[in-house]
A and B are shown apart, each in its own frame.
Chain A
């Protein structure tokens, strides 16, 4: 299995698509950071001091406020620090490093699409170029081969996403140091790390789903088309006509997973809750079903 993984890894890193997409993503991060720095007005010491004072005041008010017995996700202190006690809320618009976790959440859809494209392309390429017959004459245990390729695709996309997120964070950090604020709130490092991890996990899941669908359809475009039609069209229709099914839809659960927040939605026919725990369960379920189908098709279908 080690040889197979080594072979698949060499193939993955030799793929031009991977290097081109990674290069484009890193270039995009650099450009985004430069634009953010250009658009940002760095706060003066006086503004910073005022914002800090206002944040402390708002935090104090929040801690003493009566919320009518409403329960918080974490502690009241955490809630107030996050929602009222952040000095960046009280400054003129500028690039604040404290908001990095939210910025990272915003790029998760892009990294997921990148994962999907890479996963579908890396798997389907073997059928499109016909090299699958060469591969199977070296490793006839198809499930073993597909397992190795999917593992490499998933971990490869995970690593690529981590690189992109790290580069974007560093670029924004540099930009914020130059023309923004680097004032951080408590728990910032933890938020950045966990958000980055969730983004990389979702990109890897997208790669696995893309790869498995590509193994069924044996074509990159077909795989991307199927995933697009499902997530953008079918789930959109279901969300519109059967809103109470939303807790079982992949798109909604991915959003819930990335934001890692429990949210209750009220609709005409009732209400539903999206929580990170449910999101993990639903995403794992979808991934397992699609992967199992991919393995089955790889095993039973003739290779012409």
Chain B
């Protein structure tokens, strides 16, 4: 598969007067292949938005290399920008212009017809409010207008920074379905988000970033397996006795609900069975526990999720 995003050793330092520079990206390596939805995860301050800004030529990298659709960034960006739709942080649009006028202004840059503006507005469900000033829009409507702007170019690559930000539950479901359908159309959707459950539902592949570095990347299944999610879930009649039995066998375990989660890889399930049976505790259930992306995320990023923006 062709890589649509290639990042090698990307570093970004922000210089500050009389203070040491802040390192936002510290030698990031990442490759995103064509098609599907790619989730880009990381705690606040991990460098997700800086990565996106570097990819779109908004900030200059201090070192390293980035390529978008095969062209170097920022030098070759103009050659591929027509095929890239994006939202960086919150969608930035002119508040005193109508939604339609905002899209028309952007569309004219690439000679996009008015019909395409109407289609984009319709796709995000904003046709009825298209002639209202953007400043009267709710955060969710602005977000949808931003997505409409990103779709206006009919892009092969979408780079969306927190697209579900500010949306109500119905809006989140709409955006989720939209992103899924865009990915299914053969486009590549690169989506950064902190709503991990959302990403888990739509992404085929994910990358997790912490302190400006990549800590995990691959299919959702692989990333889950590399984090705290690589465990075994067991159900026994006496949960506390089971936990102690496992602890005595050198297996860390926690009780969650009506299950014991043992921190051993699924292929070592036999160790768990032996330890429990030795104490007369016969499991009624024993299965690999992939957990969820949230667990894997917390495991892989450690305490970084407490870092401020």
Min Cβ gap A15→B in Å is 8
Chain A 1-45 per-residue mask, 1 if CB under 8 angstroms from chain B, else 0: 011101100110010100000000000000000000000000000
Q: Chain A contacts of B86 at CB under 8 A?
A: 137
Q: Assess whether B88 is in contact with A133, with CB atoms less than 8 Å apart.
A: yes
Q: Chain A contacts of B110 at CB under 8 A?
A: 3, 138
- Given A133-B88, A138-B110, A302-B60; A11-B81 close (CB under 8 Å): no
Query: Contact partner of A14 among B56, B89, B91, B105, CB < 8 A?
Result: B105
Query: Which residues of B (123-167) have their CB < 8 Å from a CB of A?
Result: 149, 153
Whether B77 sits at the interface, judged by CB under 8 Å, is yes
Whether A269 sits at the interface, judged by CB under 8 Å, is no
Q: Assess whether A129 is in contact with B95, with CB atoms less than 8 Å apart.
A: yes
- Can you name the residue of chain A whose Cβ is closest to the Cβ of B77? A140
Whether B26 sits at the interface, judged by CB under 8 Å, is no
A3 to B86, CA, bound (A): 20
Min Cβ gap A130→B in Å is 4
Q: Of the listed stretches B96-104, B186-194, B227-235, B282-290, name the one at the interface; the rest are far from the partner chain.
A: B96-104
- Given A129-B95, A303-B53, A303-B58; A3-B108 close (CB under 8 Å): yes
- Can you name the residue of chain B whose Cβ is closest to the Cβ of A11? B105
Whether B92 sits at the interface, judged by CB under 8 Å, is yes
Query: Contact partner of B58 among A2, A16, A136, CB < 8 A?
Result: A136
Which one of B60, B88, B149 has the greatest number of beta carbons of chain A within 10 Å?
B88
Chain B 83-123 per-residue mask, 1 if CB under 8 angstroms from chain A, else 0: 01010111111111100010011111111000000000000
Q: Chain B contacts of A302 at CB under 8 A?
A: 53, 58-60
Q: Assess whether B108 is in contact with A134, with CB atoms less than 8 Å apart.
A: no
Query: Contact partner of B108 among A10, A129, A130, A137, CB < 8 A?
Result: A10
Taking residues whose C-beta sits less than 8 angstroms from the other chain, chain A's interface range is: 20 to 34
Query: Contact partner of B94 among A4, A131, A133, CB < 8 A?
Result: A131
Query: Which residues of A (268-304) have their CB < 8 Å from a CB of B?
Result: 300, 302-304
Whether B74 sits at the interface, judged by CB under 8 Å, is yes
Q: Assess whether A133 is in contact with B108, with CB atoms less than 8 Å apart.
A: no
Q: Assess whether B109 is in contact with A4, with CB atoms less than 8 Å apart.
A: yes
Whether B266 sits at the interface, judged by CB under 8 Å, is no
A134 to B86, CA, bound (A): 8
Min Cβ gap B135→A in Å is 10
A129 to B102, CA, bound (A): 13
Whether B78 sits at the interface, judged by CB under 8 Å, is yes
Query: Contact partner of A133 among B58, B96, B101, CB < 8 A?
Result: B58
A304 to B88, CA, bound (A): 10
Min Cβ gap B209→A in Å is 19
- Given A14-B97, A133-B92, A134-B91; A140-B108 close (CB under 8 Å): no
Q: Assess whether B109 is in contact with A3, with CB atoms less than 8 Å apart.
A: yes
A189 to B56, CA, bound (A): 54
A139 to B111, CA, bound (A): 12
Q: Chain B contacts of A10 at CB under 8 A?
A: 101, 104-105, 108
Q: Assess whether A140 is in contact with B78, with CB atoms less than 8 Å apart.
A: yes
- Can you name the residue of chain A whose Cβ is closest to the Cβ of B97? A14
Whether B57 sits at the interface, judged by CB under 8 Å, is yes
Query: Contact partner of A137 among B56, B59, B60, CB < 8 A?
Result: B56
Q: Assess whether A140 is in contact with B91, with CB atoms less than 8 Å apart.
A: no
Q: Chain A contacts of B89 at CB under 8 A?
A: 133
Which one of B53, B88, B96, B108 has the greatest number of beta carbons of chain A within 10 Å?
B108
A300 to B58, CA, bound (A): 10
Whether A141 sits at the interface, judged by CB under 8 Å, is yes
Name A's B-contacting residues (CB within 8 A).
2-4, 6-7, 10-11, 14, 16, 125, 129-141, 300, 302-304
Q: List 25 A-B contacts (CB under 8 A).
A: A3-B108, A3-B109, A3-B111, A10-B101, A10-B105, A14-B97, A125-B94, A130-B90, A134-B93, A134-B106, A136-B56, A136-B58, A138-B81, A138-B106, A138-B110, A139-B109, A140-B57, A140-B74, A140-B77, A140-B78, A141-B78, A300-B60, A303-B53, A303-B59, A304-B59
Name B's A-contacting residues (CB within 8 A).
53, 56-60, 74, 77-78, 81, 84, 86, 88-97, 101, 104-111, 149, 153
Q: A6-B108, A10-B101, A133-B89 are in contact. List 5 more A-B contacts (CB 8 A).
A: A11-B94, A14-B101, A136-B57, A137-B84, A139-B109
